[in-house]
């Protein structure tokens, strides 16, 4: 009976783009996440609504990394970014697909103007053994590239963008786990967008907890890693995301990377173990003034005791006066634009009988209570 209810729930919730709808009720988003996670974990497959077609891809990658390659793709007049996993041997297929499936699961449920939009997944080959995650192509590149090419751009709005995106993630119970300039992209409007959710986690409740057993600090990420992440058996936390945010703010304001006097990772690790803050005092001149309150905020983000760091909500409240942006309006527009593009590619009916889905969930809850009583 339970399996039958779950099957009906999955068919109702995952056949279409339910989790991407801005008007989705809270109860359905919660149970939809649980069903989606369990289904993807068991099958290593995506909901059908995530699968995209009709995409062309350039022959050569634009960038390469430890995970794989980044290609430029197209669908009609839309330029796309295709993140393709690189497989060196046949035994790499299953873990690689699991990793991309989890990243797509996290990313696919996030819609915010300061989160890089997730369009879906594209199968490169007919055997479905090589897949890529699809997002819009960002001509401005990552944060570091953008600041070097635009040295006179206003810095505070970029800080506000990153804080807004990170606060949204945390409000959705998502821990990013790898905040750094390479994972912050800048769109055509000059807005910063958080990207790359390969090591993110979703601790929602006792039913759904997707997180790593331990946190693996990705290559070249020690400059932005909180000191507690060096401890054995550690996990990324909301507080470690805040530390990384403080490090990025330091770069934006000062133009130097954290621990810029350290050349190799072992030197950075020694500094972290000693409790040294990556935020150095900066002499303020009238050519390059840094707001005193902003500087204090950055320093508070990079204190060694995690509990002493401000929350993203508190950070955003302090930054409210620096921007008059209608975040709610932008969020609605971001959701509309994302769904419009996905609908054009999929041509699927986005209607759903929410009453029927709620009825199925109620049946499922009754079934679980009945089983619990029998077990007792």
Residues whose CB falls within 8 Å of the CB of residue 32, separated by 6 or more in sequence, listed in order: 13, 14, 18, 19, 24
Show pLDDT as tens, one digit a residue, over the chain (376 residues).
445 554 544 454 444 455 656 666 656 665 666 667 666 666 666 666 677 888 888 888 888 766 678 899 998 888 999 988 766 554 455 665 666 666 777 777 788 899 998 888 888 766 656 778 889 999 999 999 999 999 999 999 999 999 999 999 888 878 888 899 999 999 999 999 999 876 555 444 433 333 343 445 554 588 999 999 888 778 889 999 999 999 999 999 988 899 998 999 899 999 999 988 888 776 654 445 677 888 889 899 999 999 999 999 999 998 876 444 444 445 555 555 665 666 666 554 445 566 666 666 666 555 555 444 444 5
Residue burial 185-211, b: 16+ Cβ < 10 Å; e: rest: bbbeeebbbbbbbbbbbbebeeebebe
Regarding beta strands 184-186 and 68-75, do their DSSP bridges make them parallel or antiparallel, or are they unpaired?
A: unpaired
Residue 15 near residue 47, CB atoms below 8 Å: yes
| CATH 1.10.510.10 residue spans of the chain | 143-327
Backbone angles phi, psi at 139, to 5 degrees: -65, -25
pLDDT the model gives residue 126: 66
pLDDT the model gives residue 116: 92
Helix and strand tally (H, E) in the chain? 11, 10
| H helix or E strand, kind and range, residue 33 | helix 26-43
| CATH 3.30.200.20 residue spans of the chain | 2-138+331-375
Residue 197 near residue 103, CB atoms below 8 Å: yes
Total Cβ atoms within 10 A of residue 298:
22
Token pair 């133009």 is at which residue?
A: 255
Say what angle helices 238-254 and 312-319 make with each other, to 10 degrees: 30
Q: What CATH number labels 143-327?
A: 1.10.510.10
Over residues 262-314, the pLDDT tens digits come to 999 899 999 999 988 888 776 654 445 677 888 889 899 999 999 999 999 99
Assign domain 2-138+331-375 one CATH number from 3.40.630.30, 1.10.10.410, 3.30.200.20, 3.30.360.10: 3.30.200.20
Question: What single-letter DSSP state applies at residue 140?
Answer: T
pLDDT the model gives residue 246: 95
| Alpha-carbon distance values, 13 to 120, 157, 209, 220, 228 (Å) | 16, 37, 20, 39, 39
pLDDT the model gives residue 6: 47
Pair of tokens at residue 236: 């990324």
Q: What is this structure's pTM?
A: 0.76
Distance separating alpha carbons of residues 357 and 27, to the nearest angstrom? 11
Residue 197 near residue 213, CB atoms below 8 Å: no
């Amino acid at each position: 009976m339970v399996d039958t209810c779950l099957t009906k729930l999955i068919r109702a919730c995952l056949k279409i783009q339910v989790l991407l709808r801005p008007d989705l009720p809270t109860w359905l988003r919660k149970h939809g996440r649980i069903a989606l996670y369990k289904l993807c974990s068991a099958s290593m497959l995506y909901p059908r609504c995530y699968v995209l077609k009709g995409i062309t891809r350039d022959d050569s990658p634009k960038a390469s990394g430890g995970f794989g390659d980044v290609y430029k793709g197209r669908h009609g007049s839309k330029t796309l970014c295709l993140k393709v996993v690189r497989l060196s041997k046949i035994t790499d297929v299953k873990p690689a697909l699991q990793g991309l499936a989890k990243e797509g699961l996290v990313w696919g449920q996030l819609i915010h103007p300061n989160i890089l939009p997730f369009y879906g997944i594209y199968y490169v080959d007919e055997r479905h053994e090589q897949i890529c995650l699809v997002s819009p192509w960002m001509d401005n590149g990552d944060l570091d590239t953008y600041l070097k090419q635009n040295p006179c751009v206003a810095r505070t709005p970029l800080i506000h963008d990153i804080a807004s995106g990170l606060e949204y993630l945390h409000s959705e119970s998502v821990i990013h786990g790898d905040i750094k300039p390479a994972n912050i992209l800048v769109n055509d409007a000059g807005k910063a967008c958080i990207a790359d959710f390969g090591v993110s986690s979703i601790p929602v409740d006792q039913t759904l907890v997707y997180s790593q057993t331990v946190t693996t600090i990705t290559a070249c990420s020690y400059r932005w890693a909180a000191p507690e992440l060096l401890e054995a058996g550690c996990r990324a936390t909301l507080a470690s995301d805040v530390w990384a945010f403080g490090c990025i703010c330091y770069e934006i304001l000062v133009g130097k990377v954290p621990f810029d006097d350290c050349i190799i990772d072992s030197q950075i690790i020694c500094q972290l173990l000693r409790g040294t803050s990556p935020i150095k005092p900066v002499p303020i001149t009238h050519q390059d003034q840094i707001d005193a309150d902003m500087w204090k905020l950055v320093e508070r983000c990079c204190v060694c005791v995690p509990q002493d760091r401000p929350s993203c909500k508190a950070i955003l409240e302090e930054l409210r006066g620096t921007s008059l942006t209608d975040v709610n309006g932008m969020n609605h527009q971001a959701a509309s634009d994302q769904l419009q593009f996905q609908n054009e590619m999929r041509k699927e009916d986005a209607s759903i009988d929410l009453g029927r889905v709620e009825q199925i969930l109620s049946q499922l809850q009754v079934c679980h209570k009945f089983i619990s009583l029998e077990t007792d």
